[in-house]
Amino acid sequence: MRMRARAATHPICDACARSDDYMDECHASSVYVSFADCDRRRRHRDTLDFVLGVVDFRRGRRLPKLVVEMLRYVGHVTAAASTAVMAVAWTSAVSFDSSIVDADGVSSWLQNKSSQAQKMAEARSAAALSFHLTHDGVSVSYDQELLRDIWHAFSRGHKRRIARFKNDFVTGIFPASTTSFALTVLLFMAVAMLGLDISFGVVPWVQSHIFYYVLGDGKISHAVASGVCGAIIWFLGIQVIRLSLKMLLSYKGWMYESAHLGKISMPTLIWLKILHLISRSQPMLHSFQGALPHLPLPSLDQTLKTHLRSIRPFYSDEEYAEIAELSEKFRKGIGQRLQRYLTIKSWLSINYVTDWWEEFVYLRQRSPIMVNSNYYGFDTLYEPPTTKQAARAANITWAALQFRRMVERQEVTPFSISPRYKVPFCTMQYERLFNSCRIPGEETDTLKRWDDVQHIAVYHKGCWYRMPIHSGKRLLDPPELQLAFQSIIDGSHEPAAGERDLAALTAGDRIPWAKARKEFFSNGINKTSLHCIEKAAFCVILDEEPVYYDPKDPSKLDRWAHILLHGNANNRWFDKSFNFCVSTNARVGVNTEHSWGDAAVTAHFVEYCLLKDLYLQAYDAEGNTVGSAQVTIVPERLQWELNSEVCLTFFKSSFFYKSTQRWNEGALS
């Protein structure tokens, strides 16, 4: 729709035409704006109702400054809206009705709102594309380097999606391969071209009932039908093989036999030989995931019998007799119906207890997870090859990122927990090792995981930082990470009010933490900073004291264990999947949240990191990381607006916080 602006019809435009409020003659454009009445504006909290239309502006009309100010405000509010407005404004003009528009009032309103939106725009000052509406038209500026980084980020995400699809397809057809698929299809097509039929009449039927109506009854139709039938037969064969593999893995006799004692039966020996043969196919991380057997469901009688036997030592004869009587009533009553429900659930899931165990044992636990749920892991007890905290933190971070990349590419072997016997285990927990965090709730917590995270969270001397781990093209190398860690250690930042004790919220009771998160971290800068910590790949804690191991003084090892388990109750983000804790003398440990996975996965991960750190990557003669930095990164200081007194009331009431503080005071005195 095109409209022609007339000064006679619109007095405000006629008045502006005789003033300096119009720009010089141009071929730019404007927007037709209609403002609602004051009552409606108040109901909508002073939100303008913009109605966009296109007005012909090719006969000497000029653009008012009021519209320029308006469009600048829109550009401050959102870059997308600004782009849309300027696209409409490219070949049009403006018309105002003076009966409903107060130019001075609107201009003042826009200036006030623009000053508020300017704070939001400052964070976008480094945008790759910038649009500015001036009196001479629309000015577009761009940064080639930033545009290049955007392209690299887009292509990286695209490649990751393709790689994930490829890996999922390969693991879904294991132990077969894509090569077997191609050979099967080509074999069927070659045989069909020779005039033979090895499909027992399937290919002629498919050709006559499907491809005849598209390709006719020639050789091309026959070849395509043969290829499709070959693909279907290959797929059915793969399903039979995977079902056979599932039946093979259902064997449990190996659990009760030990190779160290030399007591291995012939069935177990044959079973292990078959697994070793399958392992030569180089399975990926999740290759066996769809072939794992279902967790067997015991009968109701067996469950009650085991339950009574397990509680017998803890009760007197009278108490035990009462419980046995109640168990019998349960068996004859509601127990049978519940057993039927459980049977149905076991048919519909691989492990009927996993989701309930995770929810009711971990996530619904309302007591503090510090000490009660989280666990810790030690560094090697030998003296580390460096005493530089930044160097050790850089190497261990780099090793962890290498392991994360292996998990993403499914390059971790599924036999990691039992490499000798080649017995595959469930590998689901590896996916939740990185980029995950436990989110508090008043009734139950939730476990959240993000994809393709490119930063870690770092804590030092009461301050939290967001540290990039990717240059836009590759993962950062250890020397580059060391410089970033060293800049944090050498920095002179002071923690904001309440920031030093912020992590203690994750150490206390879950309900106060959930209420505090909802009240103080649901919007604004607090929400942004908290999201950076929760979304991080993991946390690195740069502690402020050294730790030691002395065989003649067990108290030093005890002190180290206490530091890793709970620290000061305010210098570990206990909700994070794991925290690497690096002491001032370059000793490393890990504090791990328990709901996402078990210690076997953590132990495998930490052993890999230590091997990579101490022996494969190592350090130079001065204790620095090996190599030279090609990229310099600057960690971002997270900002907070906290009321320290209010926040302290949420966690200082925790028994574990108080007891930990008392222990630390006694240990340091």
- Which residues are identified as catalytic? 594
What is the distance between the alpha carbons of residues 465 and 477, in angstroms, rounded to a whole number? 19
State both tokens at 453. Answer: 């995270």
How wide is the angle at C-alpha 65 spanned by C-alphas 63 and 70, nearest 5°? 105
State both tokens at 325. Answer: 């009587």
State both tokens at 454. Answer: 């490119």
Helix axes 178-193, 219-249, angle to 10 degrees: 140
Report CA 91 to chain centroid distance, whole Å.
45
Other Cβ atoms closer than 10 A to 485: 25
Q: Which of 249, 205, 251 is nearest to 226 (CA)?
A: 205
CB-based contact 103:66 (threshold 8 Å): yes
CB-based contact 560:381 (threshold 8 Å): no
CB-based contact 207:225 (threshold 8 Å): yes
What is the distance between the alpha carbons of residues 202 and 199, in angstroms, rounded to a whole number? 5
Other Cβ atoms closer than 10 A to 242: 18
Other Cβ atoms closer than 10 A to 49: 11
Residue holding tokens 């490393």? 588
Alpha carbons within 13 angstroms on the beta-carbon side of residue 397 total 37
What is the distance between the alpha carbons of residues 72 and 111, in angstroms, rounded to a whole number? 10
Helix (H, G, I), strand (E, B) or coil at 420: coil
Strand partners, 625: 619
The amino acid sitting at 311 is I
Q: For the chain, report the end-to-end CA distance as a whole number of angstroms.
A: 81
Residue holding tokens 């794991």? 578
What is the distance between the alpha carbons of residues 524 and 536, in angstroms, rounded to a whole number? 19
What is the distance between the alpha carbons of residues 368 and 659, in angstroms, rounded to a whole number? 13
Q: How far is CA 230 from CA 172, 194, 199, 430, 580, in A?
A: 18, 15, 8, 36, 52
How wide is the angle at C-alpha 587 spanned by C-alphas 585 and 589, nearest 5°? 145
Q: Would you mind telling me the total number of residues written for the chain in this entry?
A: 669
CB-based contact 434:577 (threshold 8 Å): yes
3 state SS for 205-225? HHHHHHHHHHHCCCHHHHHHH
CB-based contact 203:222 (threshold 8 Å): yes
Alpha carbons within 13 angstroms on the beta-carbon side of residue 90 total 8
Question: For strand 375-377 and strand 588-592, is the pairing parallel, antiparallel, or unpaired?
Answer: antiparallel
